[in-house]
Amino acid sequence: MRGPRAKAAALVSALVFAGIASAAGGNAKPALPRGARTAHVAVSPDGKSVFVLGASDAAIQVAVSPDGKKFGAPVTVAKFEGKLAPTSKGPQIAATCSSVVVATVKKDPERAERGTGGRGESGTLLSYTSRDGGKTWRPPVRVTGENAGSLKRELYGLAAGPDDEVACVWLDDRSGSGEEVYLAVSRDGGATWGEEKALYRSPGGSVSDFAAPAVAWNARGQLAVVFRNLLEESTRDVWIVGSNDRGKTFAPPAKLGKGTFQHKGSVSDGGSVAGGADGSFDTAWLREGEVFLCSPGKKEQSLGHGVRPQVAQGPTGPHVVWLLSTVDMGKGGTENNEIVALAPGAGQPKTLGAGKTVRSPSLASSLDGKGPVVCVWASDDDGVLASVVAPRGK
């Protein structure tokens, strides 16, 4: 007879391979070939185009689909030399009513030598724009100016509004005393960028410095930014700050959820935010290894264990995806990663993809609230895969 440990190993192994089997039988479709380390997705405001980005250490590529199921040939947006920062979520993509915008950090050795206060390797936040649905791309323009911080960890977020507006947020250490949350807004689809604006500085001098901020618009043109704060040396809750005038002015920041998170070490998850057609916002974030869904001003809802949660609003409410890691003790402790998705009203999440090399997901939907809701992720084995979490509604 097998002992308790052998039975446990067999159970974990069965769960792992059941996940892989369910992923193989799901609707994940190849969007980009192997080689990408990170992936990101955007859906046009009218839901008629899905743009998938894959980034390697050498290049950024974008593929386009009308529905998130069948993708055209990839187009190279830019080529680079040098590796992505280990903390980076990678280049990001957003789609307005008339343009597609990609944001990325380009290493800038000359700027580092000119003096970033000894804050290590430096970079410049750039954006690339396409006005023909991703077929061709214009030369990059700067989002951040000469006075920006080092952007050494490449922590930033990008989102498109209901018109031709695009917002970019990032962590900036230009003050020399820690990371602050900064924002810039483009009113012309990424062709030019407005003044860099400091949104928040922690009383202690720095927000949580390994966690990327996130930004989203709703269909009414309101803007929300989420970030992981750092208070009293170890309180690392996710906060939100919003604007009712398209990013011109902002209300005072507020903590999300009723609970609190005490943690002395760094936290690499800064939270996710999504806007809806009804003017609402939803957020998803991590606390002590647990994923939460939360609307501003309301109590958070626990969804289960995992990391890297992402949220998007679909026809029936907010969808959440996250990364779940399991260990197969029957195979010497082999780790397996799963991308799981929880639909509105569903009791349990379902597996979208699984494998040892599956990495953090990205999730997006249209601003009109009708979808489709599309999730993408990168895998060394399969390239960049896309799964339609919810089809476009009527």
Report the pLDDT value the prediction gives residue 2, as an integer from 0 to 100. 38
18-37 pLDDT, tens digit per residue, is: 333 333 335 899 999 999 99
Report the pLDDT value the prediction gives residue 225, as an integer from 0 to 100. 98
Predicted TM-score (pTM) of this structure: 0.89
79-122 pLDDT, tens digit per residue, is: 976 677 766 789 999 999 999 999 999 877 665 444 444 444 67
348-392 pLDDT, tens digit per residue, is: 999 999 999 999 899 999 999 999 999 999 999 999 999 999 999
> Is 2.130.10.10 the CATH classification of the domain at 4-390?
yes
Mean pLDDT of the residues in the chain: 88
Average pLDDT over residues 246-258: 96
Closest CA to 150 of 181, 126, 118, 177: 118
Q: With a cut of 90, say whether residue 326 has pLDDT above it.
A: no
